[in-house]
A and B are shown apart, each in its own frame.
Chain A
């Protein structure tokens, strides 16, 4: 018989996690599709019993998003414009059914190169909080994601929250997803952009591209080039060469690598333009 644990508290969950090898279940929107069976195989721990893991709270350090916060929760929440991109992404994950069940923590732990949640979180310098019995650590999201289906989470750890530093909650943001159909679609490419500006010039820029590398990437060279740019002329500072240098896309059934380079550049220009318009 396999175990299916529904721990009543996070401490219970962490203690139990030290006693065996569990598959952690959040929304279920990735675990169930991976099996043809009527039930999940192996020992499973359901994290959705833990209210402490769900919800968005303001903290002295910034914003804390519980790992089991659903996409629908995020879309509904009152959040600063810096997280507008994340809210846009929330509405483009699957359909409403997936948004009601799927969680942001699950999206990160599943570590798909095309995870919709990652670019908007990279654009706000998100950290992840990993807890195990007796200890807690924080990692930048970019370090947590190590490759397709590969993260820095230890088997004894639970990703408990996504933390957004106060300093990264400034500015306006925008998310653009490109797929071959309107809903229920895996991205060919997607971008998230967050910009701050004073007196008509960009003062900070965070640009991230997903589905064009093993993990979503920030485009540091382009970000640097945008600093000081007037809002009306920002998009043209983005060069295909700089974008391409940061990415390593693949040919797959959805698009060619060459197309992804082109699309990433174009989407970044559009997202920057739209963000600049919001700032102006």
Chain B
């Protein structure tokens, strides 16, 4: 039917099926792709638009219903939206930006009724839009602050580091950024995957050619793959087929691709794809997978064990036997879904004989290497151009659709695009490892830790992914940031037919911290010490060695715990007078970068003859802010103002390798490379001008000027010869952290830099219902040097939100929670007040002393919540999440 309506103030008319989702009409027919689709089920609110001024989910609105009415999207230019965009930008309320259009529209509806809302009004109005990055704090603050003074200017030369400057890519984020699903070449193909409904099965195909003819589809299967049909994050464990070869090992595994003309014709029903399944009994737990006689998921991995990691130091058995106090715990955690609001999406096309893949990712070079191997392409024929990334948190380190769309375009020569549904995103991509952890920790009569014994079984699912990293990181970190002279920790990753467990913010360390930090509370009680003071007593200090034998150089945990002390004493005093109130504390430490393996970053900085200052920034910004932070570091190292920098990339043809956005490494590792590049370029300029190190630089037009005191010299850029990159001046520098591999006992210096933190939770437990009400989380994190306080506090608030989800509500069950209404993540109403305390204990390795932060911030939250529950009620939660029925059962156990 023909549908005419007012769209952003102008009359619009489209031919569309009357029941077409409005989100589809806006994106596909009107070309307004600021409206994002996160779930197609009304669960996430990303597609929120205004219909006659009221917020609705465009995905639930039939096109026919807007006939004759008024629709407003994020592309509208209204006074309210302009003020909201400005406020979101200024407050750092947009991190990855995928939820931002929905948030802005929901907020616009609120402001129309309530021009100066309270935080509670804002929370209620935005309660239908999910955000996975920010923890909502800055969003709510922005909505309540839309009549501000003008924004301060960007920092001057030499003043960028430490400035709370808004993200330099923030304008795009608040306009509706261009994500994986938002850009493609027309006239191509739409790709859909045929996926297994079974966690374990063999299969053969029926009459695929007949089906393809009937559906006007091009079908691709494993036999079409020109290269090696295997990918994986870690070269020694590459085991995952891009398209399954006769056997599937998890529900949601792709077995074939069907490509259709991208001409607006509805995609036909795919459920009758001709495949004959021979369903096999799945192995759904590590116990089943390790049982004698259990079938092996992968040949050469006996007992279905992918890997075991071990760290041993001293004589733990003897130390525990001699300890005045020993406490133990067995804790079980669930599969946790990353639940970024952007499902995997991307597009591919040919440029000459180069295959271009534009998709969401955290690791473009790894995408290139893995996809090139699958497609049998040399690296110079595959260009990875990352899109804006709508949240990653570890899962987008793995390739998802890159080999799939690459295959279709390579085989057909035609452009194509693919967008995962929420269900296939949740079923087929990685999760946080469920852990079964057990062990003991001992201390002497004065409270000093004597020894720790830990054993963790991690369900790593069907394929290796980042399982080896988890198995290595957990034993290194299970002591927490505490001096533990005798130590024995093992982590075993076991294959099952469950979802693939891979990288998720912290690589298993959050699970281990839950185990260790809850035992610490029991030990403190046994000793009769205050729980915070017990931690301070044992906190790692410089000169002490870690469980891997590494000598601490810039430990900041004492400072973090000390910063919490006044808050802790206030909270305990309040709790004594408040029935049901609990206060909990927990710490974290986390090594930044790969574990004892090289992970270099390279930064290129160039100035064109015309005077354009170009930063080739290959570190993927998934919302955490590397575009801004790396530039701030480069700016001060070079000595030119932040505002003059233009960013290039990431793009595997344009930017040198900055490694992957994981392991809290970008600020530290890429930051060091940026610092080195800025320093080198500055030295080159000063040398050419024969000026000293103290000179100040300025760049005006095509002239560089160095000034020191009354002396000033100028360098005209146009006469300089340009290099192969087109630059008159250029520096390219690489940094790789100085680490050593771990020996057979896990001894060595696996990381050059560690970050530290401690968080305190104040909550109420409803003793009759087992429900929790969070009041406040105070988070002290040692950043070494805070490059950008606005972004740092944004990381803390977002990490805390994910920690709350891990502790209280998140549990992925395959086939049962493959959507965002059965799989729960925190909403605006679930967030307490968060107070961030930024601690700076500089690290000699970090740029300006900076340490990583991104993963640290999630680690203490869940154990601090569990410790607060125990403080309030005596209840020990041994299985996460702490859903109300589990809390109530734990309270009942504690009363016995």
Contact = CB atoms under 8 A, between A and B. Distances in A.
Interface of A: 2, 4, 6, 25, 27-29, 32-33, 36-40, 44, 46, 48, 72, 94-98, 100-101, 178, 180-186, 188, 253-256, 258-259, 262-263, 266-267
B128 A180 contact: no
Contact of B60 (A27, A36, A181): A27
Nearest to B816: A253
Given A36-B423, A38-B266, A178-B884, A97 B817 contact: no
Interface in B266-304: 266-267
Given A38-B20, A100-B54, A180 B41 contact: no
28 contacts: A27-B60, A29-B42, A32-B41, A33-B40, A33-B60, A33-B821, A38-B266, A39-B266, A40-B19, A46-B62, A46-B64, A96-B125, A97-B128, A100-B54, A101-B57, A101-B61, A180-B881, A181-B808, A181-B809, A184-B43, A184-B127, A184-B130, A188-B885, A253-B811, A254-B883, A258-B885, A259-B888, A263-B769
Nearest to A262: B888
Interface in B414-435: 421, 423
Given A32-B60, A253-B822, A259-B888, A183 B829 contact: yes
Contact of A178 (B61, B771, B811, B825): B771
B266 A95 contact: no
A181 B829 contact: yes
A259 B18 CA distance: 45
Nearest to B828: A183
Nearest to A251: B885
B824 A182 contact: no
B492 interface: no
B54 A180 contact: no
B54 to A, nearest CB: 5
Interface residues of B, number: 62
Contacts of B809: 180-181
B375 interface: no
Contacts of B60: 27-29, 32-33, 97-98, 101
Contact of A100 (B20, B56, B129): B56
Contact of A183 (B19, B109, B127, B888): B127
Interface string B554-587: 0000000000000000000000000000000000
B24 A4 contact: no
Contact of A32 (B17, B59, B881, B888): B59
Interface in B769-788: 769-771
B870 interface: no
Prevailing SS type, chain A contact patch: loop
Contacts of A29: 42, 57, 60
Contacts of A40: 19, 62
A37 B127 contact: no
A180 B18 contact: no
Interface of B: 1, 17-21, 24, 40-43, 45, 48, 51, 54-57, 59-62, 64-65, 106, 109, 124-125, 127-130, 266-267, 421, 423, 768-771, 808-809, 811, 813, 816-817, 819, 821-822, 824-830, 881, 883-885, 888-889
B42 A4 contact: no
A100 B55 contact: yes
Given A181-B829, A182-B830, A253-B813, A98 B423 contact: no
Prevailing SS type, chain B contact patch: loop
Contacts of A36: 40, 421, 423
A211 to B, nearest CB: 13
B48 to A, nearest CB: 6
A197 to B, nearest CB: 25
A4 B827 contact: no
A6 B67 CA distance: 11
Given A33-B41, A36-B423, A39-B266, A180 B883 contact: yes
A94 B128 contact: yes
A96 B127 contact: yes
A107 B18 CA distance: 23
B179 to A, nearest CB: 18
A39 B128 CA distance: 23
Nearest to B423: A36
Contact of B64 (A6, A37, A98): A6
B885 A255 contact: yes
Contacts of A178: 769, 771, 884
A165 B768 CA distance: 35
B20, B769, B813, most chain A CB atoms within 10 A: B769
Given A96-B109, A254-B883, A181 B830 contact: yes
Contact of A101 (B1, B45, B56): B56
A98 B62 contact: no
Contacts of B813: 253
B822 A186 contact: yes
Given A101-B60, A184-B128, A38 B24 contact: yes
Nearest to A185: B824
A253 B127 contact: no
Contact of B17 (A39, A97, A255): A39
Nearest to A28: B60
A36 B816 CA distance: 16
A124 to B, nearest CB: 25
A182 B828 contact: yes
Contacts of A25: 19, 62
Contacts of B56: 97, 100-101
A101 B883 CA distance: 30
A48 B65 contact: yes
Nearest to B772: A180
A6 B59 CA distance: 19
A125 to B, nearest CB: 28
